Amino acid sequence: MHYIKSNKKKLFVLLFVCFCVITLSYLQAFSVIPEKLILLEGEEYIYNFKSFYFVNIKADNRAVLKLNNTDIKAQGNYLELISPLSFKTQKRGSVKLNFKAFGVIPLKTMQVDIIPSKKLAACGNTIGVKIKMDGILVIGLSEVDKPDGSKAAPAKDGGIKTGDVIYEVNNKKLSGIKDLVEQIDNCKGDKLTIKFKRGNEFASTTISPIEGVNDKKYHIGLWVRDSTAGIGTMTFYDPETHGFGALGHGITDADTGTLMPVNSGEVMESNIISVRKGEQGTPGELKGIFMENKPPMGNIFANAECGIYGQMFSAFHIDKNRLYPIGLRGQVKVGPATILSNIEGNKIEEFNIMIEKVSRQSFSGPKGMVIRVTDKKLLNSTGGIVQGMSGSPIIQDGKLIGAVTHVLVNDPTRGYGIFVEWMLKNINEAPVKQEAG
C-alpha cells in the first residue's frame, strides 16, 4: 500500500512539473509573439521566437505574405517556432495570422500591416496649423438664470458632458458655432433634439432652452469650440503622392483632452521669431508667426493619434540629400542619432541626440523611444526640446526612424519620440488624395 501511495505521489509531482513546464512555455510563446507587426513591401524579415511549440498558422489574407518562402495554405502552415521564421512581404495590405499550438490550442492572433517601401523626404520645417472641426466640441457646462430668480442647466440636465462633440440640432448638420447659435435663437423656447458623439458612440438627447433674464435670448448652458490653430513641425513628405505627416501626435483640445475631429484644415508657412528656453519644470516654446501674406501650403485631411496628415497643393521643394529610406522599429537601436528642426527663421538644421531607450511595444503611441539632446548649439538655444518641435524627424544610420513628440517637463533635455512606422500606418488608414491641386 505504501509503495502504491509513493508511486501516486511521484506521478502527481511529475504531472505537476509537466503542467508547469507547458504553462510557462505557453506564456513564453504568447509573450514573444507580437500582437502587431508593420513591415515594408517587398522585403524579407527573420524572427526568432525561440519557442519549442509546433504551431499551425492560418491567414485571413493569404496574398500579401509568405512564411519561410512558402505561400500560406488555406488549411494553414505547420511550423516549428524553435527555428527562425521568415516573413516575406508580397504586396501592401493587412493580414491576421492565427497561431495555434500543436494545431489545436489557440495561442495568439497577430496583425501584420505591410506598408510601401519608399524614400521619404525628412522635413523639419515649422508650419502653421489651422483646423476646422467636424462638429462642435463641448468644453464646458454652465447654469442659466431664469426669470423667477432660480437657475437651471439645460444641457447638463439633458445628459451633455464636457468632451462631447455635437453634430446636429433638429436634424440639421452644424458647420460651426454660428449654426448652433442660430438654431437656439430660432427655437422660440421649443425643445431641441441634439445629436452628439461621446468617444466612439453616437447618441441624441432633448434639451429645453431657457430665456435669459438679461438679453431675452434663449440659452442651453454650453461653452463650445469649433476650431484651433498653432505651430508644429512637418515630419515627412512623400514626393510621389504629395502627402505629408506632421507633429507625431494628434491635436487635442486644451480644455478637454479630446482628439479634435477634422472637417477641414490647412498648413501655412511660418517663421520662428523667438524661442522661450525650456527649464526644469517649465517647458520652452518656439514662437512663430503664420505667413498670412502667402497662400496655404496644403490641406489637412486627418487628425489621428500619431499625427496630422494631408496633402500639399503643389510639389514641395525638397533637398535631395534629405530623402531617406524608412527605418522600422526593429532597426532602431540605443545610440546616437540626429533630428532636423527649425528653431530660427525658416532655417532647418541638424542636431545631435542620443536614443536612450527603445520600447518594443506592439501598440501604437507617441512614446516609442526616449531621446536626449546632446547638441550644444540646440541646448544653448532652446534648453533641449520645446513646444513647436513636435514632429521633428529623427534620423539614425541613414534612415528616417521617427519623430520627436513630447518633452519631459522635469528635464527639457530629454523627451519622447514616435516610430515613423506608426505615423505611416495612420496615413494608410486615412489616405490622402492622390492628385495635387
Tally of CB atoms within 10 A around 185: 12
pLDDT score at 278 = 87
Q: Give SS3 for 72.
A: coil
Q: Rounded distance, CA 180 to CA 174, Å? A: 7
Alpha-carbon distances of 395 from 383, 392, 401, 408, rounded to whole Å: 21, 10, 6, 20
79 touches 57 (CB < 8 A): yes
**Which among 364, 390, 392, 406 is annotated as catalytic?**
390
pLDDT score at 11 = 66
Residue ranges of the chain whose pLDDT lies below 70: 1-11, 13, 18, 21-22, 25-26, 28-29, 360-364, 426-437
- For 63, phi then psi, to 5°, come to -90, -15
**Which among 249, 253, 392, 406 is annotated as catalytic?**
249
- The CATH architecture annotation of domain 119-126+240-248+266-429 reads Beta Barrel (2.40)
The residue type found at 14 is L
Q: Rounded distance, CA 361 to CA 333, Å? A: 14
Residue spans of the domains in the chain: they are 32-115, 119-126+240-248+266-429, 143-220
- CATH class for the region spanning 32-115: mainly beta
pLDDT score at 366 = 77
At 84-133, the pLDDT tens digits run 889 999 988 889 999 998 888 888 898 998 888 889 999 999 999 999 99
- For 341, phi then psi, to 5°, come to -150, 160
User: Does the annotation mark 375 as catalytic?
Assistant: yes
128 touches 290 (CB < 8 A): yes
* The CATH number of domain 143-220, selected from 3.40.50.300, 2.60.120.620, 2.30.42.10, 3.40.720.10: 2.30.42.10
Q: Beta 165-169 vs 201-207: how paired, if at all?
A: unpaired
365 touches 422 (CB < 8 A): yes
**Which among 164, 238, 253, 375 is annotated as catalytic?**
375
User: Does the annotation mark 238 as catalytic?
Assistant: no
pLDDT score at 165 = 94
- Report CA torsion sign: 374, 128, 250, 257: positive
User: Does the annotation mark 397 as catalytic?
Assistant: no
pLDDT score at 124 = 94
Burial class (CB in 10 A: 0-12, 13-18, 19+), 297: buried
